[in-house]
Structures are given as C-alpha cells and as structure tokens.
Amino acid sequence: MSHAHYDEILEKKGKMEGEPMYKVIVADDEPFMLEGWKTMIDWQGCGYELCGTATDGEEALELIGLVNPDLVVTDIQMPVLDGIGLIRTMREELRYDSQIVIVTGYSEFGYAQQAIRYRVNEYVLKPLVPEEIHALLRNLIIPLDTQRQEIEKGYAQEPYEATELLDTHLDEGDMIEEVDLEKMTSRAKQMLALIEAGDVTGIDHAVDEMMHEMKESRAAGGWNQSAIRYIHGELLRRYGLIGADQTLLQAQTWHHTESWHRGDLKQLFVRIAETFATASQTDTGSGGLVAEAVQYLKEHYRSKIKLQQLANHIHVNAAYLGQQFKREMGVSFSEYVHRLRIEEARRMLRRTNMKISDIALELGYHDAEYFTEKFKALTGELPSLYKTNNQG
C-alpha cells in the first residue's frame, strides 16, 4: 500500500474490562475529516484501537487485509474505490464480517440505500460530533462482544448473504424494506420543516407518531433513531450557518432513547424551534457559510492562513467547512487560496517591476521556487515569461 498510513498501526496493550480492545480502521479522502477521527474521538476510552487510516477504498482494502479490523468506518464518496464499492468487496468477495459504519454528508444520504443489503451497522452524518460517535461506539460493543464470544466458542457463522439487511439484531420477521429508508429521510425532513416553521402543534403530533411506531416495531424504532441522528446533524449544520447558540444541540437527550418516551425529545424540538426562529430573525444575510469564508479569504489571502484559523473565525467545525467549501466552490480551500494569490501575482507582474522572489514573499510564499511551480500549474507559463509577454 503506497499511501495508507501504516505508521498509525499501533502496538497498544490497553484492555477494557480484561478484554483486548477492538481494532478499527477509518477510510476518508478528506484530510480534515481524518484528523477529526484521530484527534476528536476517544477510541481507547470506548474500548477500541485505531489501527490506521486510508484515503481511498483500495488503500482501505489493503489495510483491512493487514489489520483484520473488527470495525471499519468509511466515507461514502472517495476516489479510486468509493465506500459502497469497498463495502461490497468486503462482504461479497472477501467475506469479511467486520462491523461497518458509513460516514455521509447530507446531500449524499441517498447513497445509503445502496448499502442496506451489505449489512451496515450505523450511519454517521457530517460534521463529526464526538458525543454522538462515542455513544455509537459504546452501542457497537454489544454486537462485537457477541461476535467475539461466538468465535471463541467455535460457532460457525452462516455464509453471508447479500439479502441481509441493515440491523443485524432484528428478529427474522422484522425485515426492513428499502422503502423504509425513504420514509425515514422523509420524516426527518418533515420534522426539520416543522422546527424551522415553529409549528409546535405539528411537532407534537409528529413526535407522538414516531414514539408510537417505536413501541410497536423494533424495525420502526431503528429507522426513527436514524431520523433523529439525521435531524441532529442537519440542525448542527444550519445552526452553524446562522451563528446560533448550539447549547441545545449538545443535550444528552439526543442519545438517551429511553428519555424520548417521557416527552424529553418533544420538549427539545419545541425549544429548538423557538431558538431557531429567533436566530433566523437576527441572521445578517451573509450569503451562507461558504460565502462568508470566500469573503474572508479575499481579504486575507496574502497572509499565511490555515483552514482551522478560518473555521475559528466563522465559528464552525474545520472538517465540515473544508467539505462544504470544496462542494460549493469546486476546489479545496488551499487550492482556492492559491488561485487568489496567483491571480494577484499576474496583476503585479503586469503592472510593477517587482522581482519574482519579492512578489512570492508579498503573497505569502516563502519559497520562490514553490511559487513558480504553482504559477505555472495554474497559468501554464513561468512567471518570468508571463511578465515578458504581458508587462506594459
């Protein structure tokens, strides 16, 4: 494997309750997301060992062969081999029985339907919320313990069938049809609309219906819990856009299913609807998160600026900002900064007699050779030739 991070394969001796920790690998092509998985998540505290990361599906497959992980966390959209292709290969060709968690953005959630038949355990919606990930990891300990005990006792596992569905803990009679994912997504979007509209009566009825379904069917309960995760993630994104106070989004109610039936979830939704409406009224109409980031970059591109610095300035998660920026602008944060700088360099080459090394320094490049490489990559010409052909 050329790029998978073998240096992250750990020799930890940690134990949880006397048992070896469960091995995990993470696959994601977004470096800021990978950094989040490594630094924001308390793997050891939840009983896991992060054994390595990969930046595409093929690297992940090689790492899986080396590590034989108990849990694979993968983004859906990756180059070379995407998350769905990775999961398909794991299940159908390699017959790996690892637990699988899919990481997806809001607009990508429809891809999740393709993964139902490959026995995916959970979905994680970006941006990463450490409290949610920790709760998810603790919940996965039960099936992992069960699987380990069966292996130790020598129980032969039934051959994997592609028709197996999402929740491996459902009764045989509780098979989930693919349409249920559509229903879950539709319900989540409906709830979000009610919250944004401040429709307390609508929220009241919708939550009652959801809780009734959860009591009647374990399958419905699973999908409704997924709907809550979807709503939580989307509200985090929208609150970030309008700069609202996110205190309510950190409430433990989001993770305590047993409290939902006591009315805690309904009360939480109503309070969020009220605060969301207030925040929306005071929105400055800045044109959105990415528009604000672009404006900041246009004013500061000459200085040495990092994504984390920009994220701190506009009060948003750096990994999420990087993802949204690339999605809306078509280029990464760093590439956009280079484009701003090179465009200014062209103007300076045309209109001034400054040395190329001085222009590079003026625009935040401390290495004139690197500046020359970026200039040629973006314009097709060397700075010296461009100056000769365009000055005056």
CA dihedral sign, ordered 352, 353, 357, 362: negative
Ordered DSSP codes for 140-162? HHHHHHHHHHHHHTTPPPPPP-T
CA angle centred on 54, ends 49 and 55, rounded to 5°: 145
Helices (H), 68-178: 83-88, 130-152
**Which residue in the block uniquely carries the two structure tokens 């609508």?**
202
Higher pLDDT, 164 or 100: 100
Say what percent of the chain tops pLDDT 70: 73
Distance of CA 147 to CAs 26, 71, 253, Å?
21, 12, 29
Mean pLDDT taken over the chain: 76
pLDDT given at position 8 = 43
Q: Average of pLDDT values for 268-276?
A: 81
Take residue 110 and report the two structure tokens written for it.
């429809």
Who has greater pLDDT, 233 or 338?
338
**DSSP bridge partners of 75:** 103
pLDDT at position 116: 57
Residue 52 pLDDT:
92
**pLDDT for position 64:** 92
With a cut of 70, say whether residue 161 has pLDDT above it.
no
User: pTM of the full predicted structure?
Assistant: 0.44
Looking at residue 217, what is its pLDDT?
Answer: 75
The arithmetic mean of pLDDT across residues 145-166, rounded, is 54
pLDDT tens digits for range 41-68: 999 999 999 999 998 889 999 999 899 9
**Quick one: pLDDT at residue 170?**
35
Q: Does residue 356 register a pLDDT over 80? A: yes
Stronger pLDDT, 285 or 87, i.e. the higher one? 87
Give the mean pLDDT of 174-200.
69
Confidence of residue 78 (pLDDT cuts 50, 70, 90): confident
Comparing 174 with 31, the larger pLDDT belongs to 31
pLDDT value of position 109:
52
Burial (0-12, 13-18, 19+ Cβ within 10 Å), 83: buried
pLDDT higher for 245 or 137?
137
pLDDT classification of 292: cutoffs 50, 70, 90:
confident
**Across residues 370-386, what is the average pLDDT?**
90
Predicted confidence band at 182 (pLDDT cuts at 50, 70, 90)? low
Average pLDDT on 223-236 reads 72
Tens digit of each residue's pLDDT (9 = 90 or more) over 98-138:
889 888 764 455 555 555 567 777 777 777 778 878 888 88
pLDDT at 180 over 70: no
Q: Which two structure tokens, joined as six digits, stand for 173? A: 């009679």
pLDDT of residue 48: 95
Q: What is the pLDDT of residue 157?
A: 45
